[in-house]
Structure 1
């Protein structure tokens, strides 16, 4: 993963640098994350693995919803959780990153006019 891909994934998941440091790179500092994004410092393998795992979870969620759409199951409406608390009220086992993955998938499906948000 290069610096541009790191930035792209952070934006896809609507994460701030501070949130990335807290949830993806505990123990790192904001300045360190910024050096990874600028290409000044190599991105640690654990960070790459975590982000690629998030990307894969997002892809699975999107693919599952597209399968339902193609099979005409459901009403093509997806919940959009404005806050993490709203997400946890429905997905009590979900963590902050699960919420960000869910929201990213919902936004992507909406952008392609495959889902309405409610």
Structure 2
């Protein structure tokens, strides 16, 4: 179960608009439906909750792996930050839109905690 506040928080963690979420996370639904979920007017479907929790898990796995590498690294702590999906896909050719959003969220989180510099 996920409530409207948790849904909003995850959307913000991945720096996505309501419209982007309706396209990439809930393609069988509309922007208006996503807004109804965020407003607590409608229950969030189980498949949407599962997809978001999987993205959150993927993000945490990336953060944990990078922190482990940071703790064992000597020297420069620099992580790439990709301005757009196309730039991300030049490095991560199999990455899709949601992979890019997870990556950017991880980069922003590590930068926020002064664990990485962005380039």
| Equivalent in the alignment of 1:21 | 22
CA distance in 2, matches of 1:25, 1:11: 16
TM-score by length of 2: 0.96
Instruction: Tell whether 2:82 aligns with 1:99.
Output: no
User: Mind listing any 5+ residue stretches in structure 1 that lack a counterpart?
Assistant: none
Q: 1:97 to 1:74 in 2, by over 3 A?
A: farther
> Does the 8 Å contact 1:68/1:74 carry over to 2?
no
Q: Secondary structure at the match of 2:44?
A: coil
Q: 2:90 matched to 1:89?
A: yes
Distance 2:58 2:5 in 1: 20
- Normalised by the size of structure 1, how large is the TM-score? 0.97
The runs of 5 or more residues in structure 2 that have no matched partner are none
Once superposed, which parts of structure 1, at least 4 consecutive aligned residues long, lie more than 6 Å away? none
| Residue 55, structure 1, aligned to residue 56, structure 2 | yes
Number of residues paired by the alignment? Answer: 118
Provide the alpha-carbon RMSD of the alignment: 0.9
Answer with 73-82 or 23-32: which moved more: 73-82
Superposed displacement of residue 75, structure 1: 2.7
Distance 1:74 1:33 in 2: 44
Pairing 1:11–2:12 present: yes
